[in-house]
Structure 1
Amino acid sequence: MNRIEFSAEIADLLGRVRRRPIAGWPWRPGEEVPEGLPVKQSWGWLFAPDGRVLTLVNPRDGIVSLPGGSLEAEDLGDPGAALAREAVEEAQAVIGHPFYLGYLYDRIGSANGGHECARVRMAAPLYRVGPSVPDPASGRHYRRLLVAPGLAVELLGWGEQGVRQARAAVEAAALRLGVPTAANETIEELPLAGCTVFPS
């Protein structure tokens, strides 16, 4: 097994990671969202060429997330448009065309005023990130890490549902983007000044 490489600063950051409780939303891989079930959120597995994905760490509370969030009126009901917008707002990330992976069924509807809804998962190439700035919607200033998808599941605290979701993302990205199914294991923080990740 290869040693996972990371800096002392990243070790300190990851030492403060706090995982959210597992929500238990059933994962529906490859299934279209049923008509009448509103899509309220879209989150993305954003891939670098070496198979790693972008994760965001809020250094204030240690919460790790994938880029994404709630659909807004300007997204016109398109989860791909919502993901692209949220990636820019949260991570200053420019992505390629997102492709659909499936959805999580939220019967309690915590993102929909107590009514059932869908939380879509997508994947896309991560082309580049700009200079790091706070999210204009929340004021959060995320640290941007590239990590292997399996480690992302651990940091997110998503359990077995997350493992299944990551597998679907990796399989789709290998097929569509040509990324390796065995990702680089190095944990890397993207530069504050920004950089190119996936040559377009």
Structure 2
Amino acid sequence: MSRIEYSAEIAELLGRVRRRPTAGWPWRPGEPVPEGLPVKQSWGWLFVPDGRVLTLVNPKDGVVSLPGGSLEPEDEGDPGAALAREAGEEAQAVIGPPYYLGYLYDRVGSANGGHECARVRMAAALHAVGPTAPDPASGRHYRRLLVAPGLAVELLGWGAPGLRQARAAVTTAVVRLGVPAAANETIEELPPGGSVFPR
């Protein structure tokens, strides 16, 4: 097994990571969202060419997340548009066309006023990130880490269901985006000034 490489600064950041309790939403891989079930959120596995994905760390509370969030009226019901917008707002990310992976069924509707809803998951290429800036919706100033998908599941605290979701994302990314099935395992924080990734 190869050693995972990361800097002392990243080690300090990872030491403060806090995982949210798992919600237990059932994962519906590849299934279209049923008619009548509202899509309230869209989150993305955003891949760079070496197979790593973008994760966001809130330095205030240590919570790790994938880029994404709630659909807004300007998204016109399109989860892909919501993902592109949210990734830009949260991570200053520029992404390629998103590919649908499936959805999580939120039966208690915590994102929908207590009514059942779907939380979509997508995969896309990460083309670039701009200079770091606070999320306009929350004021949060996220740290941006590239990690292997399996490590992302660990940092997110999603367990076995998250690993199944990551596998679906990797399978799609290998076929659609040409990334390697075995990702680079180096943990890298993206610089405040941003980065561009070859297409």
Range class of TM-score, shorter chain: over 0.9
Taking the aligned partners of 1:139 and 1:112, their CA distance within structure 2 comes to 23
1:59 aligns with 2:42: no
Name the SS of the counterpart of 1:179 in structure 2. coil
Name the SS of the counterpart of 2:144 in structure 1. strand
Number of the residue aligned with 2:33: 33
The list of structure 1 runs, each at least 4 consecutive aligned residues, that deviate by more than 3 angstroms after superposition, is none
Number of the residue aligned with 1:186: 186
Name the SS of the counterpart of 1:49 in structure 2. coil
Number of the residue aligned with 1:152: 152
Q: How far is the alpha carbon of 1:2 from its aligned partner?
A: 0.6
Alignment of 1:7-46 (within 5 A): 7-46=7-46
Taking the aligned partners of 1:84 and 1:178, their CA distance within structure 2 comes to 20
1:124 aligns with 2:132: no
Taking the aligned partners of 1:94 and 1:178, their CA distance within structure 2 comes to 18
Question: What is the count of residue pairs matched by the alignment?
Answer: 199
Q: Deviation per CA, 1:121-180, whole angstroms, max 9, x where unpaired?
A: 000000000000000000000000000000000000011110000000000000001101
Number of the residue aligned with 2:77: 77
Taking the aligned partners of 1:155 and 1:119, their CA distance within structure 2 comes to 20
| Corresponding letter in the other structure for 1:118 | A
| Corresponding letter in the other structure for 2:150 | G
Q: How far is the alpha carbon of 1:62 from its aligned partner?
A: 0.2
Taking the aligned partners of 1:160 and 1:104, their CA distance within structure 2 comes to 14
Number of the residue aligned with 1:48: 48
Taking the aligned partners of 1:19 and 1:191, their CA distance within structure 2 comes to 24
Taking the aligned partners of 1:84 and 1:110, their CA distance within structure 2 comes to 23
**TM-score, L = length of structure 2:** 0.99
Name the SS of the counterpart of 2:36 in structure 1. coil
Number of the residue aligned with 1:87: 87
Q: How far is the alpha carbon of 1:13 from its aligned partner?
A: 0.1
Q: How far is the alpha carbon of 1:184 from its aligned partner?
A: 0.3
Q: Deviation per CA, 1:8-48, whole angstroms, max 9, x where unpaired?
A: 00000000000000100000000000000000000000000
Taking the aligned partners of 1:53 and 1:163, their CA distance within structure 2 comes to 14
Q: Unpaired segments of 5 or more residues in structure 1?
A: none
| Corresponding letter in the other structure for 1:165 | Q
Q: Deviation per CA, 1:50-74, whole angstroms, max 9, x where unpaired?
A: 0000000000000000000000000
Q: How far is the alpha carbon of 1:195 from its aligned partner?
A: 1.1
